[in-house]
A and B are shown apart, each in its own frame.
Chain A
Amino acid sequence: MSARIIETNNSPLNIIDVDGITVDLIENALKNAREEMDALVSRTALSPGIREQGDCFPMIANRDGKMVVGQFGSFIHGFTEAYDEEIEEGDIILTNDPYMCNAAVSHLPDWMVLKPVFREGRHIAWSAMFGHMSDNGGMVPGSIPTEATTIFQEGIRIPPIKLYKKGELQSDVLELILHNVRTSQWNRFDLNALVAACNTAGKRCNEIADRFGDDVFCSTMKIMLQRNYDAMKHIISMFIPEEPREFSDYICDDGMGMGPYKIHCKMWREGDKAIFDFEGTDPQAQSSVNFYLNEDMFKMFFGSFTINVVDPQIVFNDGFYDLVDVRIPQGTLLKPNYPAALSGRTHALGRIFDVLGALLGMGAPKEMLNAAGFSDSPHLFFSGYDDKGDWFQLFQIGFGGVPGRPIGDGPDGHSLWPSFTNVPNEFVEAYFPLRVETYEFIVDSGGAGLHRGGNGLSVAYRFLVDGHIGIHDDRWLTYPWGVNGGKPGKRSTKLLVRADGREEYIPAKCEGIKVHKGDLLYFNTWGGGGWGDPLQRDPTIVVSDVAKKLVSIEGAKRYGVVINEDLSLDQPKTDALRAKMSKDTVQDEMFNFGGTIEEIKARCLEETHLEPPVSPTFLNQ
């Protein structure tokens, strides 16, 4: 079963030699085209999620479906394999169903648009883009129901269909789809923007082929892929040891009282080939926290993290996929069986990066190992009717602390996802009935270390009308770990202060929580883990951190630094404290997880005001 591409011009494209400089020119032109796709979408999309936050990802692939420029790797191969239809010039495909495209997109709110690019009747390339829609229908506003047990509860499933047939919009289909979502106007514009971006990319590919010739264009894409292959071959032999390395991390819970869930990966090299084996990862969850991980996408994660070392200007692409083997056992959290629910996949997606970072960094901890912090992408949903009786639906992505890194401290409250930005609070306040009363980093939340972990953010939302909130967050139980002697960062918390003063700690994953006018929600994100021994940090920098209120006088003691009330350094007491603390320092500690899972669970209620999750049980086990 696979897609059949109908070409009206069957004269073959010839693979020819292209001089290196022409390759560089075309590489630049394709890079520009990709950036143009991003720019176009951010200008024309309507929803704050895509437009302001940048939750969308473009790609241009060669005619075989290999990504030549883009971010998350090609999903075309997975799609064409699963799509048993003819594809013609002018067709534009739309889908959102992970089970129908080999997880090219990993949950239903991500709508993917795919366009075969033709030139004079010949298929020369693909352009594609997916974006996170504000709503996809289903159980809850925002369409990420944690409690869903099957994908049928997560809203409308769009199998790969032709949104445009030979250039004609299939408006019946479009209206049927939009009829099933809560934010049809936003989705309509956002989808328009994705289509416009793909069309633009198609136009640019044609212009490049005009200028250099079809054979040169297509051959160059092959050469660009080969460049990546060659570079990655070197990188793999440099960074991936033949001796296997293993690492485990967890997502804290499934939102239904069970957890944590283990993600385990073993990495090694056989000849030129890097192997990542997820054997030992927990079976699939019964709620929606499963992350259907496309193997190719994981290869891309791996490549992106390492390629910068050798040529930061390279246009990164798919060319090296044959050098990587990713093994994910069926039926696990990372490859659940249909029809498992998938919408809450953000936690495991984030955690994959911590796991990958650990595996790659372990071999050269001083040069390459970052602490944990790429831990999550917390979501807040707030929906209801405003004072005029109009429906509103807010979706916000939060940011925590960037971990301590070999290069230095982690920035406070910054995004680890590429291209993401926060939404200006004045914008949020102007268009939604709430007031953001504080938007500030949380003192001492970054893990102590020679390089300090970035502080998390405390965002306080005052609700100005009644409504419902839903939250998706993690790292509330397990810690963003520290490395090389660095301490873990603080975990995330959510505190709801009711208008009458009652305080409720609410779980990291919840939905349908009724809030009333005047209630205040503190949405506190995690701090990044620390890097290196905090006792080695220059005390004058700690003094400056305290003056900046990034660290408190009390928190400075974690660095063995004693600071007077007037913010001056007490050198003798600092010397004494550091001497005392250094006796307790564990030598050569690569990871600090803040305790074993058992220990963390035992302290859970006391520390987090929430019951610990019970160990998961699995169906069919």
Chain B
Amino acid sequence: MSYRLGVDVGGTFTDFLLINESDGSTHTAKVPSTPEDSSIGVLNGVSKICDQSGVDPRDIKLVMHGTTVATNAVLTGNGAKVGLLTTKGYESVLQVARSFCPGGLGGWVSFVKGPLLAPLELTYGIKERTDASGDISTPLDEDHLREQLAQLKAKGEVEALTISFVNSYINNENEVLAAQIASEVFTDIPISISSEVIPEMQEYERAETTVLNSYVRPQVSNYVNNLQSNLEKSLGSDVQLSILRSDGGLASSRSTGDSPVNHLMSGPAGGVAGAIHFCSQANFENILTFDMGGTSTDVALIQNSKAKIRRETLVGDVRVKAPSVDVRTVGAGGGSIAFVPELTKALRVGPESAGAVPGPAAYMQGGVQPTVCDANIVLGLLPSEVQLGGDMTIHKEAAEKAVQTIADGIGIDLMEAAEGIIRIVNESMFGALRLVSVEQGFDPRDFALVGFGGAGPLHANALGILSNSFPVIIPPGPGVLCAYGDATTQIQDESSRSYLAMAQDIVTDKFLSDLSDLKNKASESLLKDGVSDSNLEVVYQADVRYAGQAFQITVEFDEKEYKTKGIQLITDAFDDEHYQLFTFKLSDGHEILMIRAIVKVQQSEIKSLANEDFSGSLEDAVIQDTRFYHEAQWHDAKIYERTKLHAKLVIPGPAIVSEMDSTCVILPDYEAAIDQVGNLIINPKK
């Protein structure tokens, strides 16, 4: 027997999914997260799930893991002390950034710039220069470099070093040489160079991204190394640990330690992967995912069971150029606080959140301000009489008291205020859905909407009505979907380079050999980790734009097709997508900015199990009667237990479906069927 384990470390809980490789059967478990050292929680969970399932730990061969260690280091400001070597004259590169002050006219009056990830005290300009053409106009002054390194070392503070020189994206000779010399001086700290982490144009973004890599590197590699060795202790030395990347692929623990910047969106990517897993099994290939947590909501658009990838992400207020699943985040979640500014009497919800502490008013853990969660309780959508997902007691009176302050502020009644809060928060999530759909030229009506995360299933039906995306799908275990995602993704690595060539100037043989070089480079780490060559599959990408445009589109292609159609394969695909986005295309002037090889390890699919005991009736699944308030009136409803539902049943709305970690609302005039995968499929009543 061999098993695969998916592990997702979240802010509050660490989720586990154990899959039997041979028959696809699964077990899940949840343990509290241990933020001071997440690996403790992981190991706790491993023993818990093995105890519960009776699986021998030594039969777990593969651990696939989504982690927010890198993100948390950034958000909490707990990263390493990073030293930065840059081209002389560019020491201000992080301080000046893109000179942008957020906010409208007068935004500068209140803008406060956060501390730099590589402080100015530890930033040194090096005498060297590469020109935009790639020519070296000033060779690296090695003596000067050694002097600067000695000064930096003498400060005794640096825990990680970044080297980012101007124009190194086109020629990295000086950077590589500087790194070599630096490694003689700094023998025991990691050194990241920009041309390796992100060989792309734009000196600030490249420097910032590489510095960020350095910033999280010691923490991430410590964590990953500890976890690997502890797992080896309890699961055996042949266990392989893989970490989910921001772009939805998996990387080995070694490559994660070197390039943690590729893992900043590891968490959201897991959810998207999980949603794809369940929906593609149910033959829904075009979906909008909607992952609503306590403080924020992540949405993404999936076409043909593939997530869109974008090459720039915002973490806190740091702009990172690293590939990630195109997830848009809005500051709207179950904990978002509602308030009414005195003067305008408008109802505002978020972005402030009550978080886990002090939490919603109804939990009576210190929170008194009204949150989205409180509004749901007042409306009866989150039934206070049923214990949901653990130990928290819901105090409906406290929620009512909090929401009443909103009602009084506007001068409306309690129920109207509660429903207002929900409508506003739904609207802002709808705004995020529009960003990934309408604004990218996609019609949301052509997509199914998948709701998950702690609060997603509560709002999914209402959101589906706003975006007109049906069916609305609630996958099994919506609260542990990320762990499913972790366990069901492919291991991959990629390699890319700037190309900066006009399409018409591209020579086929040269292009093919460049691609093949990239493929070999991308395969290296996988082969090093013991994957056999025959198990690798490769896809290529080119970043294309019309010459002079700042915008670029990533076009995916394979080698075989390229050999028959030539460069037109790429330019046609680009034109099509450009037309979809902007309603026009040009006939020539295509510039190839970057090329990239992505190498994936083939894997056997797992089966997933739905309830196949069809004996129970709908009545058997009823927990109790309840009622909720929707569109200005009360509706009588029943609460169902999800584990008792099966594919022969259809639940008529208004109804509430409850399971261990989440609550799903089915609105009046809608009904939910259960499919063979175990998804709840919500549609308008026939």
Contact = CB atoms under 8 A, between A and B. Distances in A.
Contacts of A310: 341-344
Contact of A227 (B93, B103, B344, B427): B344
A39 B439 contact: yes
A505 interface: no
B120 A549 contact: yes
B96 A457 contact: yes
A414 B96 contact: yes
A304 B104 contact: yes
A408 B343 CA distance: 27
Given A411-B101, A414-B96, A426-B169, A196 B582 contact: yes
Given A44-B549, A419-B100, A547-B121, 6 more contacts: A24-B427, A25-B423, A316-B104, A411-B108, A414-B101, A426-B169
B109 interface: yes
B344 A231 contact: yes
A414 B345 contact: no
Interface stretch (B111-119, B383-391, B509-517, B569-577): B111-119
B132 A20 contact: no
Interface string A211-235: 0000000000000000100110010
Contact of A416 (B95, B101, B434): B101
A196 B582 CA distance: 8
B96 A313 contact: no
Contacts of B343: 230-231, 234, 310-311
A27 interface: yes
Interface in B529-555: 548-551
Contact of B203 (A36, A416, A424): A424
B347 interface: yes
Given A28-B427, A413-B99, A422-B99, A549 B91 contact: yes
Contacts of B108: 374, 402, 411, 414-416
Interface in A350-379: 370, 374
B101 A71 contact: no
Contacts of A230: 343-344
A550 interface: yes
Nearest to A54: B100
18 contacts: A20-B345, A20-B412, A29-B431, A43-B551, A51-B549, A52-B550, A186-B548, A227-B345, A227-B346, A311-B343, A413-B95, A413-B99, A422-B99, A425-B166, A427-B201, A429-B132, A430-B132, A441-B95
Interface in B110-159: 110-113, 119-121, 129, 131-132, 137
Interface stretch (A432-440, A473-481, A506-514, A596-604): A432-440
B104 A420 contact: no
Contacts of A548: 119-121
Given A227-B344, A435-B137, A439-B92, A430 B100 contact: no
A25 B424 contact: yes
Contacts of B548: 46, 186, 431
Interface in B331-347: 341-347
Interface in B572-617: 581-584
B329 interface: no
Interface of B: 88-93, 95-96, 98-101, 103-113, 119-121, 129, 131-132, 137, 166-167, 169, 201-205, 341-348, 410, 412, 416, 419-420, 423-424, 427-428, 431, 434, 439, 500, 548-551, 581-584
A426 B167 contact: yes
A122 interface: no
B99 A421 contact: yes
Contacts, number: 198
A418 B434 contact: no
The 5 closest A-B pairs by CB, nearest first: A438-B89, A548-B120, A429-B132, A304-B105, A21-B420
Contacts of A51: 549-550
Contact of A24 (B91, B93, B346): B346
A407 interface: yes
Contacts of A236: none
A82 interface: no
A205 B98 CA distance: 33
Nearest to B120: A548
A321 to B, nearest CB: 16
Interface residues of A, number: 75
A421 B347 contact: no
A167 to B, nearest CB: 14
A310 B412 CA distance: 22
A231 B344 CA distance: 6
A385 B154 CA distance: 49
A83 interface: no
A430 B201 contact: yes
B116 to A, nearest CB: 9
B346 A20 contact: yes
Contacts of B166: 425-426
Interface of A: 20-21, 23-25, 27-29, 32, 36, 39-40, 42-44, 46, 51-52, 71-72, 186, 192, 196, 227, 230-231, 234, 300-301, 304-305, 308, 310-311, 313-314, 316, 370, 374, 399, 402, 405, 407-408, 411-416, 418-422, 424-427, 429-431, 435, 437-441, 457, 460, 544, 547-550
Contact of A305 (B99, B106, B584): B106
B584 A24 contact: no
B424 A412 contact: no
A74 to B, nearest CB: 15
Contact of A439 (B89, B112, B584): B89
Contacts of B551: 42-44
A420 B105 contact: no
Nearest to A398: B99
B432 to A, nearest CB: 10
A227 B342 CA distance: 12
A100 B167 CA distance: 46
Given A28-B427, A43-B582, A405 B104 contact: no
B468 to A, nearest CB: 10
Contacts of A440: 89-92, 96
A311 B346 contact: yes
Contact of A43 (B132, B434, B581): B581
Contacts of A418: 101, 103-105, 107
Given A32-B431, A438-B90, A439-B90, A407 B112 contact: yes
B500 to A, nearest CB: 8
B167 A429 contact: yes
Contact of B95 (A36, A72, A234, A412): A412
Contacts of B582: 40, 43-44, 196
A407 B109 contact: yes
Contacts of A399: 96, 99
A425 B90 CA distance: 10
B96 A421 contact: no
A392 B424 CA distance: 50
A355 to B, nearest CB: 14
Contacts of B431: 28-29, 32
Most chain A beta-carbon contacts within 10 A, residue among B108, B427, B439, B550: B108
A370 B201 CA distance: 37
Nearest to B93: A439
Contacts of B105: 71-72, 300-301, 304-305, 418
A308 B583 CA distance: 37
Contacts of B169: 426
Contact of A415 (B100, B500, B583): B100
B154 to A, nearest CB: 11
A25 B89 CA distance: 49
Contacts of B420: 20-21, 24
Nearest to A400: B99
A108 to B, nearest CB: 23
Contact of A314 (B346, B500, B584): B346
B104 A24 contact: no
B101 A28 contact: no
Contacts of B549: 44, 46, 51
A431 B591 CA distance: 13
A431 B549 CA distance: 12
